[in-house]
Structure 1
Amino acid sequence: MTSTATRPRGARARAAIAAKTLRTDRWWLAPLITVIGLSAWVAYATVRVFQHDNYWVEDYHYLTPFYSPCVTDRCLPDAAHFGRFLPGWWIIPDAALTLPFLLLFRLTCYYYRKAYYRSFWLSPPACAVPDGHKSYSGETRFPLLGQNLHRYFFYAAAIISLINTWDAILAFHSPKGFGFGLGNIILLVNVVMLWAYTISCHSCRHIIGGRLKHFSKSPVRYKAWTFVSKLNVRHMQLAWITLGTLALTDFYVMAVAAEWISDLRFIN
């Protein structure tokens, strides 16, 4: 608070308000929904990743993205498109080569930072609401210093998206030949959404259009930057949509693999 001695002439002293905030709207609702949504998704994903079952539909070559690529010696041979070279210990996910990078890509994502900073850390929970911590050092210290590695995790996420695309293509070639079913549509939609989320990343936008003095001299990069910029505006929505498509794809593959339901086939 500005003291009387240092206060500019004519300025009024700030009111002594005991309340933390004067906001009367439900400012706490958005952080609460974020906590519930992210917690539910993490709980589901954790259970599925360590379930080590119902991840592959042999009849239609459906592989859930939670197990792609399947690289432990516990994986079914037909589901291990890149070999089985890791031990099949329970604590090791079958997609151990990709899941850590996907997790780090999402954790360091600019939108997800905002989401869990505000909801889990209350830093701050909303505009005009005090921070839940007495001090704030930004992202200049460990472990938040690692957020600066986001651009490198983007490269890994792009490679993983290529692998998911390959899985979706292989699913059209079942043991009976070419086939097409509801599972193929779900896999394709998930891949498209994953690509949209990945390339809408702020780091991708900077990689494509950054370090240029004149867009007129790089028309191809300008068009690509314009396209990515349009997706970037929807980065938050795509972040949540892909959580939904990932869970839906995994659940559908699990349901078909466990024979809870039958895949709706259109061709073969």
Structure 2
Amino acid sequence: MTTTATRPGGGTERAAISARTLRTDRWWLAPLVTFIGLGAWVTYATVRVFMHKWFWVEEFHYLTPFYSPCLTDRCGDAALFGTPLPNFFLIPEAAFTLPFLLLFRLTCYYYRKAYYRAFWLSPPACAVPDGHKSYSGETRFPLIFQNAHRYAFYAAGIISVINTWDAILAQSTGLGLGNVILWVNVIMLWAYTLSCHSCRHIAGGRLKHFSKHPVRYRFWTFVSKLNTRHMQLAWITLGTLALTDFYIMGLAAEWFSDLRIIN
């Protein structure tokens, strides 16, 4: 039902629509799927990082990325960088790196859109009213920390280097399905990290003439191509991280054996 109102100066205003939105498609499906997908991944990851077991396969040097670098006394031979963290149940083995990885994902431009819509309904979809009466932007606590995305990108790059080193060490024991999974995960993590909008700005920002900076220009074009797949890479890496962790957990728990190709 619609009504019309008279303006103070005469004439009529736009129709006052009682319906929440005129969209007739299933606009709620995308935020719902996002809510379920992100919620399931966060639940799985939280359970895994506090299990404190089944993260290391000594025979093949497989270390799950959820526990890398492993920094508590529980790590055993997986502690490649020492054990500076106390052996306390509430402290994850990778407590130094997990906050930076979480910050990198939380401040990611795509993930902001995803969880703003799915969890905060702000707004849940285009042409659908916001679920909140007021909006102050990303200028106040806690959303002001979204501006730290560039610094989280630097930390994510360092962690990607560590994950790459883990894959190299595992490769020294031969070649198995676990090695393939580790390398696929590392490659996808690098693709997601380099496709970051901050990386694209770092590569080509503040330049007036690309012709005078051919190396940066080539890197910028490479990053720009990755950037068009940033959303897909964001979801793919969630999948590869969970798959890598689950496979290593299964090997460590002796649920199944690694399919060896060489040695």
Give the CA deviation at 1:6.
Answer: 5.1
Give the CA deviation at 1:75.
Answer: 1.2
Unmatched tracts of structure 1, length 5 or more:
none
User: What is residue 260 of structure 1 aligned with on the other side?
Assistant: 255
Give the CA deviation at 1:110.
Answer: 0.3
User: What is residue 58 of structure 1 aligned with on the other side?
Assistant: 58
User: What is residue 70 of structure 1 aligned with on the other side?
Assistant: 70
Select which of 196, 204, 210 maps to 2:199.
204
Give the CA deviation at 1:12.
Answer: 5.0
Select which of 245, 252, 261 maps to 1:250.
245
Question: In 2, Cα distance between the equivalents of 1:96 and 1:14?
Answer: 55
CA RMSD of aligned residues (A): 1.3
User: What is residue 101 of structure 1 aligned with on the other side?
Assistant: 100
Give the CA deviation at 1:172.
Answer: 1.3
User: What is residue 38 of structure 2 aligned with on the other side?
Assistant: 38
Question: In 2, Cα distance between the equivalents of 1:83 and 1:6?
Answer: 76
**Aligned structure 1 segments of 4 or more residues deviating by more than 2 angstroms:** none
Cα-to-partner distance string for 1:110-133 (whole Å, 9 max, x where unaligned): 000000001100000011100000
Q: What is the SS of the residue equivalent to 1:259? A: coil
Which AA in structure 2 matches 1:181? Answer: G
User: What is residue 228 of structure 1 aligned with on the other side?
Assistant: 223
Counting only pairs closer than 5 Å after superposition, residues 88-237 of structure 1 correspond to structure 2 as 88-174=87-173, 179-237=174-232
Question: In 2, Cα distance between the equivalents of 1:85 and 1:128?
Answer: 51
Question: In 2, Cα distance between the equivalents of 1:172 and 1:147?
Answer: 37
Identity, in percent, stands at 78
TM-score by length of 2: 0.97
Matched-pair contact (CA < 8 Å) for 2:57–2:251:
yes
Give the CA deviation at 1:5.
Answer: 3.2
Which AA in structure 1 matches 2:120? Answer: W
1:87 aligns with 2:86: yes
Give the CA deviation at 1:221.
Answer: 0.3
Summarize the Cα distance change of 1:190–1:2 in structure 2 as closer, same or farther, 3 Å threshold: farther
Matched-pair contact (CA < 8 Å) for 1:72–1:88:
yes
Cα-to-partner distance string for 1:202-239 (whole Å, 9 max, x where unaligned): 00000010000110110110000000000000000000
Question: In 2, Cα distance between the equivalents of 1:63 and 1:155?
Answer: 23
TM-score by length of 1: 0.95
Matched-pair contact (CA < 8 Å) for 1:196–1:231:
yes
Cα-to-partner distance string for 1:117-167 (whole Å, 9 max, x where unaligned): 011000000111000000111101000000000000000000000000000
Aligned length: 260
Summarize the Cα distance change of 1:181–1:188 in structure 2 as closer, same or farther, 3 Å threshold: same
Matched-pair contact (CA < 8 Å) for 1:74–1:87:
no
Question: In 1, Cα distance between the equivalents of 2:240 and 2:114?
Answer: 19
